[in-house]
Structure 1
Amino acid sequence: MLTNQQAYRDYLQKEKNYSLHTVAAYLKDLSEFEQFLKHRDDDAALEQVAYGQIRSWVVELVEKGILNTSINRKISSLKSFYKFLLKTKQIELNPLQKHKSLKTPKKVQIPFSEKELEMVFDENDYPDDFEGIRNRLIIELFYTTGMRRAELISLEISNFSPYAKTLKVLGKRNKERILPLLDCTVALLNSYLEVRKTFVGSSSGNLLILNKNGHKVSETFVYRLINNYFSNVSEKVKKSPHVLRHTFATHLLNNGADLNSVKELLGHASLSSTQIYTHSSLSELKRVYQDAHPRSQK
């Protein structure tokens, strides 16, 4: 019979489809906390821990000189584990339910990590209704296409081709580009269109992303949505659609994508030359994109 930790590992690998690196990081943090508990009490069990014990671990980490950002990441790993135990009915109360992250100094703007993205897709509740599916779709589109905020707001339903798995975007200077879509993004778009039709009806026009009143969303709304969701998982100072755009590019490059292909996906003006376009066909972009994006297997 599997232990809770083994079941948790399988859950991360098979159900959440996390990378081996991310799974190892989660389990390492969990093991460190378990060692802390055993050092104080041989009979201590992760399933029976109280918040006071976790708080004591935090104090010990602070005294060892561990940075607050690193401590917050370790606690995030514990949160994920206890959420799993709660989901599988191994515990009745999450000991970290009311925990507040340690304060951290302001940092230079940097992209989100793969772990932070996995957390924002995993640890936040997305209700199975119009607003819940729409919110998840907005985050998904930013992270899996790298589009700009203005581009997302102006998307029309007709821009989406479920069969070709593409999305046509109108960029700066009215320059159009066609973006390949991951299977998970296509599925989410289809789900959103179904609930959108039920929620706002056919009189809402052709705009893809709508607010709860059936109208066009504002730039402020989109910014606040991204900021709110990522505030739950990241201590970065800047949490915006533009950071997600940078994150998209960074993660593709880190996973081996060609720089010119990524720049074309982003629609940068420097890629408008004939030479660039003749060397980067849509089919090649699709291949690079599917192979390189962290969520391509979701």
Structure 2
Amino acid sequence: MSELSIVAYLTDIEHWLTLEGCNELEGEALEQFLCSVDTRRARKSLIKLMETPDATRSVKRRLSALRSLYGYLMKIEKVEHNPFKAVQVPKDGQYLPTFVNADLLTRHIERLYKEAEEEPTSEGKRVAWQRAFVVDLLFQTGMRRAELLGLHLEDIDTTKGELKVLGKRNKERIIPLGPLICQKIDLYLGYRSPKVETEVFLLNDEGKPAKADYVYKVVKEALAPLPQYSRKSPHILRHSFATAMLNNGADLMSVKELLGHDSISSTAVYTHTTFEELRKMYNAHPRSRESSKERRTNHEDEGTGSQL
């Protein structure tokens, strides 16, 4: 390896340590940190690297540097495995999808619900709450916009925690639902006016079947307070869902099935993943877990007293 390559690798490793808040560690403290990094943390590192301004040009090189670092640490028997070996390196020129950090998005969605409760009129509360719900549902399920618009009431079973989606090429799949989003769905359904005759699940602000431009507008306006993300389309929530799942330990093939993607390899053991295993994988999503506080205060905090 040339001297310039060594300098570049050291610079990339220092950049990574800075992102992890460990750039000032030395000696035993630095060694302990390096030994503590597992595959899950390595994936989180990838997320941080992808969020940097020059990510498209630098992420592959920096991951290569980190793989080399841990290859060396394995050679001198400081670590037993290379946590970055399982992290996929984007190909040259590969599009890196825009996504919102899961913790940031979770806090933002909770803020949207809170702001809805502060609306002065019942109609204002209903509209604002429903818009927050649309963002929440897309983030928690990873659905495409067209799939959300194609949902009918019969496709949703909150008792079982299941959502039936008709994807591209009429490919049907079942998405497991966590208890928190099931409660939100039940609230949403409870707000529907008995006068609404349509079986379409998603209605617009006027109580009519929603169209694509409604969902786009809702998401764009909801994400407007996040200026660091230039793109604010519904598909960003799908990317954010997938990123959150992988970043919290779900395996790639399970996430691809949840998203309704085709298998990336004929050797992938796609059919061996059961629905119950998918449900367990879904629990890796940060908003699929309902806190005890949310469970206790759900009916007090979320009622809007109005119907769609």
Give the TM-score range, shorter chain. Answer: 0.5 to 0.7
Amino acid at match of 1:235: Q
| Within-5 A mapping of 1:217-236 | 217-236=210-229
Judge conservation of contact 2:106–2:287 (CA < 8 Å) in 1. Answer: no
Equivalent residue for 1:114, pick from 95, 102, 112: 102
Distance 1:194 1:150 in 2: 23
- Name the residue aligned to 2:178: 182
Q: How many residues align?
A: 190
Q: TM-score, normalised by structure 1?
A: 0.59
Q: TM-score, normalised by structure 2?
A: 0.57
Amino acid at match of 1:148: R
Distance 1:211 1:253 in 2: 32
| Within-5 A mapping of 1:1-298 | 110-124=98-112, 125-127=115-117, 129-196=125-192, 198=193, 201-270=194-263, 276-290=269-283, 292-298=284-290
Structure 1 consecutive aligned stretches of length 4 or more whose deviation exceeds 6 Å: 271-275
Amino acid at match of 2:228: E
Identity %: 38
Amino acid at match of 1:157: L
Give the secondary-structure state (helix, strand or coil) at the position aligned to 2:229: coil
Distance 1:212 1:138 in 2: 12
Amino acid at match of 1:151: E
1:232-290, Cα deviation, whole Å (9 max, x unpaired)? 13421101111110010001101110100000000013379796442111111001111
1:128-150, Cα deviation, whole Å (9 max, x unpaired)? 74323321221111111100000
Deviation (angstroms), 1:203: 3.6
Distance 2:172 2:265 in 1: 11
Judge conservation of contact 2:147–2:167 (CA < 8 Å) in 1. Answer: yes
- Name the residue aligned to 2:58: none
- Name the residue aligned to 1:16: none
Deviation (angstroms), 1:110: 2.2
Give the secondary-structure state (helix, strand or coil) at the position aligned to 1:204: coil
Distance 1:294 1:118 in 2: 8
Specify every segment of 5 or more residues in structure 2 that has no aligned partner in the other structure, as ranges. Answer: 1-20, 22-51, 54-95, 291-308
Q: 1:227/1:280 Cα in 2 relative to 1: closer, same or farther (>3 Å)?
A: same
- Which of 167-176 and 112-121 deviates more? 112-121
Distance 2:275 2:140 in 1: 16
Judge conservation of contact 1:134–1:209 (CA < 8 Å) in 2. Answer: no
Amino acid at match of 2:248: N
1:112-137, Cα deviation, whole Å (9 max, x unpaired)? 01232133223331247432332122
RMSD: 2.6
Amino acid at match of 1:183: P
Distance 1:273 1:220 in 2: 37
Amino acid at match of 1:117: L
Judge conservation of contact 1:109–1:238 (CA < 8 Å) in 2. Answer: no
Distance 1:189 1:272 in 2: 35
Specify every segment of 5 or more residues in structure 1 that has no aligned partner in the other structure, as ranges. Answer: 1-24, 26-66, 69-107
Distance 1:288 1:294 in 2: 11
Q: 1:234/1:279 Cα in 2 relative to 1: closer, same or farther (>3 Å)?
A: farther
Q: 1:287/1:228 Cα in 2 relative to 1: closer, same or farther (>3 Å)?
A: same
Give the secondary-structure state (helix, strand or coil) at the position aligned to 2:164: strand
